[in-house]
Amino acid sequence: MGNLNVAVVGSKEFAGEVGKKGTVTDMTFFELKKGSDSVTLIEPSKYPEKLSSLFYSIGMSEFVIMIVDKIDSTLGETIVMIEQFGIGKGWIILKNYIQPEQLKPLLAGTCMENYQFIDGDPIKVREELIAMACAEGRKAGAGTCGSCPVDSHFNVKGVGTVVLGSVIDGHFKKHDEMIVYPLMKKVNLKSIQKHDIDADDGVKGDHVGLALRGIDSEELDRGFVVSTDPSVKMTRKVSGKVSLVKYWASPLKEGMVVHLGHWMQMVPCRIASVSGGADFRNAAVEMELESAIIHKPGDKGVIMYLEGGKLRVAGSITLP
């Protein structure tokens, strides 16, 4: 069973021409299936109004389809966000007579510089995506050590509490005992579904529905993490050197309120201190978070400044 998660950015029509519309939140999911292989297309349907829509969509994906119908600040911000996640595989579809030569300077030196330019025929795209999903053929290894951030959650009569999300790391199996962060509550994984089909395991990249025993839907919230990975931790203070993007024009300042993004979380935080002299793009900072951020040691947190105007993606910092 192969699966591929694909962010479709720059168009609110193209994903619907390729896949069947599914769940809608601030992202819209489209499904594409052939036999046991599937593709999940994720469209940031509330972007550019909500930066979180773009952050979550790209963060859940391992492949990008970018439709370019004009070269503007929204395109620039999208490129910067993709670069933060380092997604090196993708396609670009050009519209309105835009030529590759116009775009290549913006992509030079980024993870996107080797993206393939395609004509965007939905039938061909559908066939190639399914072929890529088939080639993935992910399998769970021995034991259990995986995490799934919660995108949405609800009660199902006769089933109980169900969470939807994408397996962000590792793998887990039906009947595993899991921990719900930040509640630190133990639950039992009753069952797993992938694209409405029962499954025995969830593997990194799988878009899953998890039925949980031992917790009510009302106790959950978006951004919570269900995990069997003992290395998952929670942090309220983050310190270290930032890596600001080259287009970010001004230093971070003490007292500034930014958002730190990781998995399905965007946590408000205050810059408590800044030091580093003239090299403000690699300054040492201390951040105090409004609530604990859930992560693994060494993960990357994306720094976003929602009052940043045309560019709201500032850079990143390594989580402890």
Domain residues of the chain, as ranges? 3-136, 145-227, 233-318
β-strand 185-194 against 177-181: which pairing, if any?
Answer: antiparallel
pLDDT band at 20 (very low <50, low <70, confident <90, very high): very high
pLDDT band at 59 (very low <50, low <70, confident <90, very high): very high
Distance CA 121, CA 14 (A): 10
Integer CA distances (angstroms), 300 to 51, 92, 158, in order? 18, 26, 39
Residue 37: the pLDDT is 87
Contact by Cβ (8 Å): 297, 265: no
pLDDT mean across residues, the chain: 95
DSSP state of 68: E
Lowest mean pLDDT among 201-205, 235-239, 294-298: 201-205
Nearest to 91 by CA among 35, 167, 15: 15
pLDDT digits (tens, 9 = 90+) for 241-270: 999 999 999 999 999 999 999 999 999 999
pLDDT digits (tens, 9 = 90+) for 4-18: 999 999 999 999 999
| pLDDT above 90 coverage of the chain, percent | 89
Distance CA 243, CA 182 (A): 27
Contact by Cβ (8 Å): 44, 54: yes
pLDDT band at 184 (very low <50, low <70, confident <90, very high): very high
Distance CA 168, CA 148 (A): 6
- Omega of the bond prior to 48 within 30 degrees of 0, cis? yes
- Inform me whether the pLDDT recorded for 305 exceeds 80: yes
- Inform me whether the pLDDT recorded for 2 exceeds 90: no
Residue 141: the pLDDT is 77
- Inform me whether the pLDDT recorded for 196 exceeds 90: no
Question: Where does residue 15 fall: left (phi above 0), alpha (psi -120 to 50 degrees), or beta otherwise?
Answer: alpha
Contact by Cβ (8 Å): 115, 94: no
Q: Nearest 5°: phi and psi at 153? A: -155, 150
Q: Is 216 helix (H, G, I), strand (E, B) or coil?
A: coil
Q: Nearest 5°: phi and psi at 52? A: -60, -35
- Inform me whether the pLDDT recorded for 137 exceeds 80: no
Average pLDDT over residues 105-133: 96
pLDDT band at 153 (very low <50, low <70, confident <90, very high): very high
- Inform me whether the pLDDT recorded for 3 exceeds 90: no
Its CATH architecture, for the domain 3-136, is 3-Layer(aba) Sandwich (3.40)
Distance CA 112, CA 36 (A): 30
Residue 170: the pLDDT is 94
| pLDDT above 70 coverage of the chain, percent | 100
Contact by Cβ (8 Å): 314, 252: yes
Percent helix, strand, coil in the chain (nearest 5)? 20, 45, 35
- Inform me whether the pLDDT recorded for 82 exceeds 80: yes
Residue 144: the pLDDT is 84
Residue 47: the pLDDT is 98
Residue 50: the pLDDT is 97
- Inform me whether the pLDDT recorded for 277 exceeds 80: no
- Inform me whether the pLDDT recorded for 293 exceeds 90: yes
Report how far apart the first and last C-alpha atoms of the chain are (Å, whole number).
35
Strand partners, 145: 171
pLDDT digits (tens, 9 = 90+) for 161-172: 999 999 999 999
CATH number of this structure's domain 233-318: 2.40.30.10
Quickly list H helices, the chain. 14-18, 51-59, 73-85, 100-107, 122-136
CATH number of this structure's domain 145-227: 2.40.30.10
